[in-house]
């Protein structure tokens, strides 16, 4: 089976208390965790919910036992929890969206569960719906777990925080009183990919050739500046410059994708930073996501005069631990399970 196995022996001192699954559309990640929320071992496979070995519930069970069967056998009483698209309407069992405000306790209270053939239960976290009066609804599924993990990293963040999660569908999240109070999704990553691959804008971009670093940075900066100058409704016009900057030889063909990236990230930042501006002064801004993408966002934020308070890596395991703790399936905390701050 196609899986990668990583152990972290240097951190692995406690006894296993939890099997945690981050189960998305395109991948399944398993974590064996101790009572201090430390990762004893982790594994991943490409068997996301759209790529199961067989259809239906049997496919989910086969993917899980294929990746973590030895953990399940070695620890027959350990709780198993899961978050992500596994709880969607196309998942193992649907855990319907819970409304904002939401925290790990709400997720636990509204979790769904499914029983494996051998009777082993899997507790599945719901997604979150934000449906403001007079506005348009928004949803997340998977990010709520990452947020729960991030807030567990530093108690001060739980009071008030603005969390930006760059990605295919970026999220900007307002945290108040330890709960997800509101959020907005931005289709930034998908727009970039779809426009590059399927629109006229990709025609001038050479496949497989990237810009010289200085050309890429300059093009990205032009995209950012263009976004900063935008009035409402200007994006569909400014997108077209991805073509005209090439036609007029203002940018080399291999730098055009960087303009598009800077433009789209700049628009997301314009809108997302209004959320931050509405929050109390001094509210921390946390970045969660792929390090390379977070670097681009950090560069973009700098153009707006903003420095993120912290950049976090994968906070999903810690979030799944919080979810399990809130659900009451973990043993009482040990003496050394206090907050572990992963960023200075």
The residues that touch a second copy, with contacts defined as CB under 8 A, are 129, 131, 136-139, 169, 184-188, 190-191, 194-195, 197-200, 226-227, 230-241, 244-245, 247-248, 250, 264, 266-272, 274
- Shortest CB 179 distance to a second copy, Å: 20
Burial class (CB in 10 A: 0-12, 13-18, 19+), 54: exposed
- Shortest CB 193 distance to a second copy, Å: 9
- Closer residue to a second copy, CB minimum distance, 163 or 191: 191
303-306: long-range contacts, CB 8 A cutoff, minimum separation 24: 303/221, 303/224, 303/225, 303/228, 303/266, 304/228, 304/269, 304/273, 306/273, 306/276
Order of strands across the sheet that contains 98-99: 98-99, 128-130, 138-140
Element (H, E) at 130: strand 128-130
Residue 80 · residue 19 · CB < 8 Å? yes
- Shortest CB 27 distance to a second copy, Å: 17
- Shortest CB 238 distance to a second copy, Å: 7
Burial class (CB in 10 A: 0-12, 13-18, 19+), 217: middle
- Shortest CB 194 distance to a second copy, Å: 5
Cis-peptide, bond into residue 131, ω within 30° of zero: no
- Closer residue to a second copy, CB minimum distance, 29 or 267: 267
CA dihedral 69→71→76→77, nearest 10 degrees, is -130
- Shortest CB 138 distance to a second copy, Å: 6
- Shortest CB 223 distance to a second copy, Å: 10
Residue 106 · residue 177 · CB < 8 Å? no
- Shortest CB 264 distance to a second copy, Å: 7
Instruction: Quickly count: other Cβ atoms within 10 Å of residue 176's Cβ.
Output: 17
231-240: long-range contacts, CB 8 A cutoff, minimum separation 24: 235/263, 235/267, 238/263, 239/195, 239/201, 239/263, 240/201
Element (H, E) at 273: helix 256-277
Residue 284: what are its φ and ψ, rounded to 5°?
Answer: -70, 145
**Alpha helix stretches (DSSP H) within 84-204:** 104-109, 143-153, 155-159, 188-198
- Closer residue to a second copy, CB minimum distance, 119 or 305: 305
- Shortest CB 11 distance to a second copy, Å: 37
- Closer residue to a second copy, CB minimum distance, 155 or 193: 193
- Closer residue to a second copy, CB minimum distance, 121 or 237: 237
- Closer residue to a second copy, CB minimum distance, 39 or 301: 301
β-partners of residue 70 are none
- Closer residue to a second copy, CB minimum distance, 4 or 274: 274
- Closer residue to a second copy, CB minimum distance, 274 or 343: 274
- Closer residue to a second copy, CB minimum distance, 30 or 189: 189
CA 205 to chain centre: 29
């Amino acid at each position: 089976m196609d899986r990668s196995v990583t152990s972290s022996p240097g951190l692995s001192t406690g006894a296993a208390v939890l099997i945690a699954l981050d189960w998305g559309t395109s991948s399944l990640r398993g974590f064996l965790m101790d009572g201090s929320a430390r990762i004893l071992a982790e594994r991943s496979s490409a068997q996301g919910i759209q790529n199961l070995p067989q259809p239906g519930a049997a496919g989910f069970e086969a993917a899980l036992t294929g990746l973590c069967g030895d953990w399940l056998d070695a620890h027959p009483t350990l709780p198993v929890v899961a978050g992500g698209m596994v709880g969607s309407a196309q998942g193992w069992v649907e855990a319907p969206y819970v409304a904002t405000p939401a925290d790990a306790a709400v997720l636990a209270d509204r979790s769904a569960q499914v029983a494996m053939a051998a009777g082993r239960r899997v507790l599945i976290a719901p997604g979150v719906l934000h449906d403001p009066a007079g506005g348009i609804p928004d949803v997340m599924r998977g990010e709520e777990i990452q947020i729960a993990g991030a807030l567990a990293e530093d108690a001060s963040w739980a009071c008030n925080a603005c969390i930006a999660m760059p990605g295919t569908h970026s999220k900007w999240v307002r945290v108040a009183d330890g709960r997800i109070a509101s959020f907005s999704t931005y289709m930034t990553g998908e727009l970039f990919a779809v426009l590059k691959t399927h629109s006229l804008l990709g025609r001038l971009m050479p496949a497989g050739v990237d810009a010289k670093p200085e050309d890429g940075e300059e093009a990205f900066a032009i995209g950012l500046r263009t976004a900063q100058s935008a009035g409402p409704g200007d994006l569909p016009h400014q997108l077209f410059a991805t073509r005209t900057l090439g036609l007029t030889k203002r940018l080399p063909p291999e730098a055009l994708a960087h303009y598009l990236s800077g433009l789209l990230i700049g628009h997301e930042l314009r809108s997302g930073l209004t959320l931050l501006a509405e929050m109390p002064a001094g509210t921390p801004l946390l970045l969660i996501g792929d390090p390379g993408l977070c670097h681009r966002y950090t560069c973009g934020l700098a153009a707006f005069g903003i420095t993120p308070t912290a950049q976090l890596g994968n906070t999903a395991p810690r979030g799944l631990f919080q979810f399990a703790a809130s659900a009451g399936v973990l043993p009482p905390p040990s003496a050394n399970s206090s907050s572990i701050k992963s960023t200075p």
